[in-house]
Amino acid sequence: MVTVSVKWQKEVYPAVEIDTSQPPYVFKAQLYDLTGVPPERQKIMVKGGLLKDDADWSKVGVKEGQRLMMMGTADEIVKAPEKGPVFAEDLPEEEQVVNVGHSAGLFNLGNTCYMNSTVQCLHSVPELKSALTEYNQLGRSNDLDHSSHLLTVATRDLFNDLDKNVKPVAPMQFWTVLRKKYPQFGQQSNGAFMQQDAEECWTQLLYTLSQSLKSPNSSGSPDIVKALFGIEFDNRIHCAESGEESTETETVYSLKCHISQEVNHLHEGLKRGLKSELEKASPSLGRSAVYVKDSRINGLPRYLTIQFVRFFWKRESNQKAKILRKVDYPLSLDVYDFCSEDLRKKLEGPRQVLRDAEGKKAGLKTSEKTSSSTDGDVKMTEAEESSSGSGEASKTTQEGVLPEKEHHLTGIYDLVAVLTHKGRSADSGHYVAWVKQENGKWVQFDDDNPIPQREEDIPKLSGGGDWHMAYICMYKARVVPM
């Protein structure tokens, strides 16, 4: 790190840190936060001329305590007359966000689109934002390591910045802490940070939050992240050769859509992912044998994450390759067929209530058998489930929502976010987030550039060429009050 002062117009910023391991564009993003001058407008005088976005700091020769001169005009906010209509530009930034209809974009700090797109998708989960806000009150538990605590705080602060700004945000602190917690995201090649896998970033971030957002005040220590994203499986493991059979339960945070020549639709890929083969030692045979693993969902989350398994290791070229095959996915997904018999019984009541409600809208006669819920109903409030994985709801409700009726899962989910990848290799290309806003509108977050989209165009990100194709889809549970 090198500390310099920066003079801009009549202002002097006395202690600005430069991380010389990062490109100058990152330094310009810092100055944007301080001055409001966008990086493309900044002219910073250094030895040999103007500072370029991709210059080598060792050749620039910036010294500790040096004063740099910056020129450029800041983004201006149009002022309304003293008496007259109030323009959107005159409102506080928090109100401008509401007026615009979406939150801010994120500056790319050097191949960080994988991180930006992950953050934008998870930022769209209001229950996760509420849990992070309460992290102030919950505090850090004794068994939580310091780096996880810092990453949780950085996530909370970045989410807040996105909600309060209409101008792009530079996620400097978050990126710095992420690299310290998970050094893989700090890998460099030829002096530049390398592209990373968005799914790995998503998984690592959720794992950290699952550790930090457990309430130390609760004896049961409910896992909020597990309640929001955890999928409970009942697995039957059978060996045809020996006749051995066992069962186990496990919790995962995403369903895998395996892609092959026979898979044309998400439903087919998910179905294939529920059955797999594994080789392990057989006690009765005294040697290795092939076992078949059959899985069924026995506990559903508030948000269902699906990963399209598009990347695989290509031995001949010694690099990750990508499956470009088109796989269609729906705006609404029903996972009833993938559930265990026990869970299906619990879903029947809420599903009938949903059918009746939809039938009523269409002017059809509704069923009278579902006026009351059964003992086995799957219950879920708008805020969080208990950590039991059974679907039993906790008493906590989302801020501002009165706990008049409990909400029950139906097994039907609606698409709320898509993370796409463009390119033919996981180590290159470009990631983008497509997120449904609270107002129902879709926005494409291409780093610092949010672009409104039509909902009918979202399912077209299904692959089959070099255009953006879905890599991760996030669905939100459709619930009914009972």
Summarised one tens digit per residue, pLDDT across range 76-130 is 654 544 555 555 455 555 555 555 577 899 999 999 999 999 999 999 999 999 9
Model confidence at 199: pLDDT above 90: yes
**pLDDT band, residue 137 (cuts 50/70/90):** low
Residues sharing a CB contact under 8 Å with residue 351, sequence separation 6 or more, in sequence order? 336, 410, 411, 412
Alpha carbons 368 and 405: distance in angstroms, whole number: 19
pLDDT higher than threshold 90 for residue 385:
no
Which pair of tokens denotes residue 380? Answer: 């879920």
Flag whether 42 is in a domain: yes
Q: Are 9 and 19 spatial neighbours (Cβ–Cβ below 8 Å)?
A: no
Local confidence band at 380 (pLDDT 50, 70, 90 cut-offs): very low
Residue that is written with structure tokens 């086995």 in the block: 376
* Of 412, 419, 207, the residue nearest 308 (C-alpha): 419
- Total domains in the chain come to 1
Sequence-ordered list of residues with C-beta below 8 angstroms from that of 222, at least 6 positions apart, any chain: 214, 215, 384, 386, 387, 394
Cα separation of 348 and 427, whole Å? 44
Average pLDDT over residues 313-332: 83
DSSP labels for 21-67?
TS-HHHHHHHHHHHH---GGG-EEEETTEEPPTT--HHHHT--TT-E
For residues 32 and 254, the model is more confident at 254
Question: Which residues, other chains included, contact 179 with Cβ-Cβ below 8 Å and sequence gap of 6+?
Answer: 185, 186
Is residue 168 over pLDDT 90?
Answer: yes
Tokens found for residue 228: 């929001």
- Is residue 440 one of the residues assigned to a domain? no
> For the segment 442-464, what is each residue's pLDDT rounded down to a tens digit?
999 999 999 999 999 999 999 98
Q: What is the pLDDT of residue 229?
A: 97
Which contacts (CB < 8 Å, 24+ apart) does range 313-319 have?
A: 319/425, 319/427
Q: Is 3 inside any structural domain? A: yes
pLDDT, mean of residues 164-193: 93
Rounded to the nearest integer, the mean pLDDT of the chain is: 84
* Domain-located, residue 28: yes
CA distance 329 to 419: 13
Q: Kindly state whether residue 349 falls inside one of the protein's structural domains.
A: no
Residue 55: inside a domain = yes
pLDDT at 75: 72
**pLDDT (0 to 100) of residue 135:** 87
Task: Determine the pLDDT at residue 34.
Answer: 87
Domain containing 27: what range?
Answer: 1-69
Which range has the worst mean pLDDT, 21-25, 71-75, 301-305, 386-390? Answer: 386-390
The first and second tokens of residue 313, run together, are: 């290791």
Tokens 């001169």: give the residue.
69
Contact 423, 430 (CB under 8 A): yes
The reported pLDDT for the residue numbered 386 is 34
Task: Clarify whether 113 is annotated catalytic.
Answer: yes
CATH number of the domain that 22 lies in?
3.10.20.90
Least confident of 31-45, 165-179, 294-308: 31-45
Has residue 2 been placed in a domain? yes
Active site residue 430: yes
Catalytic-labelled residue, pool 113, 121, 201, 257: 113
Pairing of strands 67-71, 2-8: parallel
Q: Which of 265, 267, 430, 473 is catalytic?
A: 430
DSSP 8-state symbol, 441: -
Q: pLDDT by residue (tens digit) across 25-58?
A: 888 888 888 888 888 889 998 887 889 888 888 8
| Residue 262 burial (C-beta neighbours within 10 Å; 0-12, 13-18, 19+) | exposed
**With 80 as the cut, is the pLDDT of residue 328 above it?**
yes
First to last CA, the chain: 58
Phi and psi (nearest 5°) for 461? -85, 45
> How much is the pLDDT for 395?
39
Q: What is the pLDDT of residue 404?
A: 47
